[in-house]
């Protein structure tokens, strides 16, 4: 066989191998894109035409997975040209506008620091003034302190007592209406029976006492709701009256301020 004939044979084998590789590449692509395993017939094809065993087929499928992933990222030539132009434009804009924006940010940050400093100093002055006023009240002449203490005590014993009693009764009634505040029906019924005996029935079963809501409970519940609404309505002005009265009684403590 002449050199020319050998070269021709090698060339034909190379062409055939390239065609086989192209077919194999397409088959690998199809298997990977469909996210499936190679069939027995495909494994036989790879073994017969390319000499790939099962391990090599798996390796080639991993290679194709990487090919498809990177192709998706790389895009087409047109995609890459467009991306390059976009990056160039963005870089030019950044070069032109970036310094301006950075300067604006620096000015805004300086303004923010100034505002924070003003706020901090203002709050500090207010705190110092409040503390000084409290100290001046403590330095009031004793006869003024005693007079204020007596006046405050009188208010607490009158309006203050009304507020306290109203809040206590309001809390009691709210508990009567809110079963969720108690861990069990038994504890709820015990509390309710102490406040409204008629709201709970006592039944003996097998020598054991059992509490349950009585037939009168719906009516009693309505009465509780009405009473609670009335207390809440009266408490609001009472609290304000109490607060205003205390503030008025304590005015003499501002003797030095």
Q: How far is CA 7 from the centre of its chain?
A: 74
Q: Which of 47, 74, 101 is the last residue of a domain?
A: 74
- Write out the residue range of the structural domain in which residue 23 sits: 3-74
pLDDT at position 10: 35
Residues in Cβ contact with 60 at an 8 Å cutoff, skipping those fewer than 6 apart: 24, 28, 46, 52
Q: Is the pTM of this model over 0.75?
A: no
pLDDT at position 7: 38
Secondary structure of 229-245 in HEC code, one letter for each residue:
HHHHHHHHHHHHHHHHH
pLDDT at position 182: 92
Torsion of CA 71, 74, 80, 86, to 10 degrees: 140
Q: List 212's β-bridge partners, or say none.
A: 201
Assess whether pLDDT exceeds 80 at residue 199. yes
Q: Are residues 69 and 152 in the same domain?
A: no
- Min mean pLDDT across 16-25, 44-53, 165-174, 179-188 is at 16-25
The answer as to whether 113 is a domain residue is: no
Assess whether pLDDT exceeds 70 at residue 13. no
Q: Are residues 153 and 237 in the same domain?
A: yes
Task: Please name which of 135, 143, 128, 164 lies closest in space to residue 239, comparing C-alpha atoms.
Answer: 164
Instruction: Give the pLDDT band of residue 6 (cuts 50, 70, 90).
Output: very low
The answer as to whether 96 is a domain residue is: no
pLDDT at position 17: 54
Q: Which of 74, 96, 127 is the last residue of a domain?
A: 74
The answer as to whether 251 is a domain residue is: yes
Q: Are residues 146 and 252 in the same domain?
A: yes
The answer as to whether 12 is a domain residue is: yes
pLDDT at position 224: 96
Instruction: Give the pLDDT band of residue 204 (cuts 50, 70, 90).
Output: confident
Domain tally, the chain: 2
Instruction: Give the pLDDT band of residue 104 (cuts 50, 70, 90).
Output: very high
Residues in Cβ contact with 145 at an 8 Å cutoff, skipping those fewer than 6 apart: 253
Q: Which of 46, 74, 102 is the last residue of a domain?
A: 74
**Model confidence over 206-225: pLDDT tens digits?**
777 888 999 999 999 999 99
Q: Are residues 70 and 146 in the same domain?
A: no
Instruction: Give the pLDDT band of residue 81 (cuts 50, 70, 90).
Output: very high
Which whole-number Å values give the CA distances from 46 to 19, 28, 59, in the listed order? 13, 10, 12
**Model confidence over 235-254: pLDDT tens digits?**
999 999 999 999 999 999 88
The answer as to whether 226 is a domain residue is: yes
**What is the C-alpha separation between 179 and 185, in angstroms, rounded?**
8
- Is the separation of the CB atoms in 167 and 174 below 8 Å? no
Dig out the tokens for 19 from the structure.
């065609």
Dig out the tokens for 190 from the structure.
């015990």
Q: Does residue 39 sit in helix, strand or coil?
A: coil
- Is the separation of the CB atoms in 52 and 61 below 8 Å? no
Q: Are residues 152 and 252 in the same domain?
A: yes
The answer as to whether 198 is a domain residue is: yes
Say if residue 227 is exposed, middle or buried (CB neighbours under 10 Å; 0-12, 13-18, 19+). middle
Assess whether pLDDT exceeds 60 at residue 3. no
Rounded percentage of the chain residues whose pLDDT exceeds 70: 93
Say if residue 147 is exposed, middle or buried (CB neighbours under 10 Å; 0-12, 13-18, 19+). middle
């Amino acid at each position: 066989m002449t050199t020319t004939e050998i070269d021709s044979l090698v060339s034909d084998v190379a062409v055939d191998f390239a065609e086989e590789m192209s077919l194999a590449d397409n088959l690998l692509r199809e298997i990977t894109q469909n996210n499936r395993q190679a069939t027995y017939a495909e494994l036989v094809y790879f073994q017969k035409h390319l000499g790939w065993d099962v391990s090599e087929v798996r390796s080639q499928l991993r290679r194709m997975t990487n090919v498809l992933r990177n192709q998706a990222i790389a895009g087409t030539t047109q995609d890459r040209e467009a991306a390059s132009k976009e990056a160039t434009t963005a870089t030019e804009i950044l070069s032109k506008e970036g310094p301006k924006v950075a300067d604006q940010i620096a000015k805004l940050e300086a303004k923010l620091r100034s505002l924070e400093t003003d706020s901090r100093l203002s709050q500090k002055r207010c705190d110092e003034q409040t503390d000084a006023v409290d100290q001046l009240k403590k330095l009031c002449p004793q006869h003024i302190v005693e007079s204020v203490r007596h006046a405050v005590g009188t208010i607490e014993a009158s309006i203050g007592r009304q507020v306290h009693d109203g809040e206590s009764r309001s809390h009691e009634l709210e508990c009567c209406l809110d079963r969720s505040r108690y861990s069990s029906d038994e504890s709820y019924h015990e509390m309710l029976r102490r406040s409204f005996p008629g709201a709970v029935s006592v039944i003996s079963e097998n020598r054991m006492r059992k509490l349950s809501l009585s037939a009168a409970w719906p009516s009693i519940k309505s009465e509780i709701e009405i009473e609670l609404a009335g207390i809440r309505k009266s408490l609001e002005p009472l609290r304000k009256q109490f607060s205003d009265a205390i503030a008025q009684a304590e005015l003499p403590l501002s003797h030095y301020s």
